[in-house]
Structure 1
Amino acid sequence: MTRSMVGLFAGIGGLELGLARAGYESKALCEIDPAARHVLSARFPGVELLHDVRDVDQIGKIDVLCAGFPCQDLSSVGQKTGISGSRSTLVDEVFRILSQSDVEWVILENVRFMLHLNKGEAMDRLVSGFERLGYRWAYRVIDSQAFGVPQRRHRVYFVACRSGDPRAVLLSDDAVRPLVAPEGVSIESHVGFYWTEGTYAAGIAQDAIPPLKAGSSIGIPSPPAILFPDGMVGTPNIVDADRLQGFDADWTKPAEEITKASARWRLLGNSVTVPVSEWLGRRLRRPKRYNGNQDRPIVGKWPNSAWSMGNGRFESHCSDWPISNNLVKIGDFLQHEAKPLSLKASTGFLSRAKKGSLNFPPGFLSALDRFVERIA
């Protein structure tokens, strides 16, 4: 039986596509960004598109409400204004709509940094809002790599419901993360990193890329770079970037009809990894029993996973790896030739890296030096 859903802050449909693959039908999608709306209109034909969440009133009786509310104020690389920032405070619109609607299940997604920013203010506001509305809730930090994409992407997934058990959806699956080489990151394999950083962070990832992100505040895209075993340094093709978020190749291509092609990186950076939301949708349809007898009340900081059934807030000890999958390596995943990193970008990264105090993998900076000499 097909179940119904509505997506707020839908972006390019990461949550919604995953749920569609699990048997949920979108009744309406709300997104204010023109490029993202254009992708939605092409990929979800016939679905009602709403413009501004602040103009949405009650949405009637539906099974699931999704909301990947804006993360710019919560991100570790943003302004860090917190949940009270002008964009992230839009989550209050979710509470307003829920108070006027008949919605059993709610799924939210946002950045992991929200657990720690301003002493966890965002999480407290989030769970308090749902508790006031009578919802039970659970949340969990999940790494997208568990779902077959070579992108180290930790995000908070939050599930709330009126009468069911959100733990049976979000916390009942757990697996052991595959072991990585004990010697650490090696340049003998592929190494992903942020070429736009280098002084205080670089996002180093072995056989993967660090998380795709929206880019700079002035709209300059910043796809991660990859140091290949042969010494080449390049950025993934945008078609592979679509796939790195679990979309079909060229999912974001329609955006080029109304904006510059580079905007596709921003759309993907703001999106949700599709296989994760598909797993959530399948668990919604077939929940598994969760045994929380050993869980203890939360003390101090917000943990990486937690829950409440209406009688207190408890810490769960679930990992960020819900299902058992082999690690997919970026070198095996890419289907298109990478674009060589420019001389300006390469030398800029090296300059910042050598001035900073970061510890890089053995031979990493030397390999970049050789790449620069080759292309200079």
Structure 2
Amino acid sequence: MNILSLFSGIGGLELGLERAGMTTVGQVEIDPYCQRVLAKHWPNVPRHNDVRTTVEWWESESRPHVNILCGGFPCQDISNAGARHGITGPKSSLWGAMAATIRDLRPDYVLIENVAALLVRGFDTVLADLHILGFNAEWSVLSACGMGAPHTRERLFVLAYPNDQRLQAIWPQRVRDDQALAVWREGHSEYVYAVAELGGGQGQSHWATEPPVDRMADGASPELDRRRLFALGNAVVPQVSEHIGRQIMASIQQVAS
């Protein structure tokens, strides 16, 4: 399963999908700091810096078919902490560039991440665009603490695929690990289940903490620390996308058998 990542940030979304058995074949990210992080951890993966010209860049060379296109388009105009202009705002309107990439590259699956407020500030546009492009969609709000993280961080995840296929029971997936809870919301109902096994039994004990020292004493300048925190704040918790990736892979195997 080849991954093309848009709005890659520091790569949290594709890192989790890779842990589920997929392979990153391309990344698109405009921020210079995040680009350096990506170059360090994915030195052999081709990168581009403008999501609006992704298709031209991708088709400029012989590249593999994209099985899953993933990305979290900017949330600044959607978030409750922002201006709340919605999906037509100056930043969040980049969803249009992602939709155009989906239209032209025709991936087998699309995984979209954004803040839960998208449900009331533009989700109808996302679903309508996916419908026009010939894609069905399923969605749910997942919590990072449901994967063992020491913080809530609820995010909306949308899984889309062509109308002629359907995955089996991705939302929700009943689970067995009683160490943490994941909140699933779909439509007007809310269900709480224990988090799925991620392979290796990750839990709260696996979340490293920062050393109790001043940042400069730890080797990071205030400016570098600011960029780092900004990148982390925009990142997807890899354990969440890993869980989704494993459910996708399991569903594909079920359909194949």
With structure 1 as the length reference, what TM-score do the two structures score?
A: 0.52
Give the ranges of 4+ consecutive aligned residues of structure 1 lying more than 3 Å apart after TM superposition. Answer: 174-180
Query: 1:179 and 1:66 mapped to 2: Cα distance?
Result: 29
Partner deviation per Cα, 1:328-351 (whole Å, 9 max, x = no partner): xxxxxxxxxxxxxxxxxxxxxxxx
Partner deviation per Cα, 1:41-70 (whole Å, 9 max, x = no partner): 111111011101112116462110001111
Q: Which of 71, 76, 84 is 1:72 aligned to?
A: 76
For residue 240 of structure 1, what is the amino acid of its counterpart? T
Query: 1:93-104 residue pairs with structure 2 within 5 A?
Result: 93-104=97-108
Identify the range of structure 1 (157-166 vs 47-56) with the bigger mean alpha-carbon deviation: 157-166
Deviation at 1:98, TM superposition (A): 1.6
Does 2:72 match 1:108? Answer: no
Partner deviation per Cα, 1:9-64 (whole Å, 9 max, x = no partner): 00000111001111111111000011111111111111011101112116462110
SS at match of 1:285: helix
For residue 68 of structure 1, what is the amino acid of its counterpart? G
Does 2:233 match 1:264? Answer: no
Query: 1:1-376 residue pairs with structure 2 within 5 A?
Result: 3-57=1-55, 59=58, 61-117=65-121, 122-162=122-162, 163-166=164-167, 168=168, 170-174=170-174, 240=209, 260-287=224-251
Partner deviation per Cα, 1:258-289 (whole Å, 9 max, x = no partner): x6222211101101111010011111111189
Contact 2:148-2:179 within 8 A present in 1 as well: no
For 2:205, the equivalent position in structure 1 comes to: none
Deviation at 1:165, TM superposition (A): 1.9
For residue 140 of structure 1, what is the amino acid of its counterpart? S
Provide structure 1 residue ranges, at least 5 long, that are not aligned to the other structure.
Answer: 181-238, 242-252, 290-376
Query: 2:152 and 2:110 mapped to 1: Cα distance?
Result: 25
Contact 1:139-1:170 within 8 A present in 2 as well: no
Contact 2:140-2:171 within 8 A present in 1 as well: yes
Contact 1:69-1:110 within 8 A present in 2 as well: yes
Identify the range of structure 1 (63-72 vs 97-106) with the bigger mean alpha-carbon deviation: 97-106
SS at match of 2:85: coil
For residue 116 of structure 1, what is the amino acid of its counterpart? V
Q: 1:21 to 1:113 in 2, by over 3 A?
A: same
SS at match of 2:70: strand
Deviation at 1:169, TM superposition (A): 5.7
Alignment root-mean-square deviation, CA: 2.7
Q: 1:102 to 1:61 in 2, by over 3 A?
A: farther
SS at match of 1:46: coil
SS at match of 1:29: strand
Query: 1:170 and 1:140 mapped to 2: Cα distance?
Result: 10
Query: 1:108 and 1:169 mapped to 2: Cα distance?
Result: 18
* Structure whose CA Rg is larger: 1
SS at match of 1:79: coil
Query: 2:65 and 2:153 mapped to 1: Cα distance?
Result: 33
Provide structure 2 residue ranges, at least 5 long, that are not aligned to the other structure.
Answer: 59-63, 181-207, 211-217
SS at match of 2:30: coil
Q: 1:176 to 1:89 in 2, by over 3 A?
A: farther
For residue 138 of structure 1, what is the amino acid of its counterpart? E
Query: 1:111 and 1:135 mapped to 2: Cα distance?
Result: 21
Percent of aligned positions that are identical: 30
Q: 1:288 to 1:105 in 2, by over 3 A?
A: closer
Q: 1:100 to 1:85 in 2, by over 3 A?
A: same
Q: 1:97 to 1:106 in 2, by over 3 A?
A: same
Contact 1:6-1:62 within 8 A present in 2 as well: yes
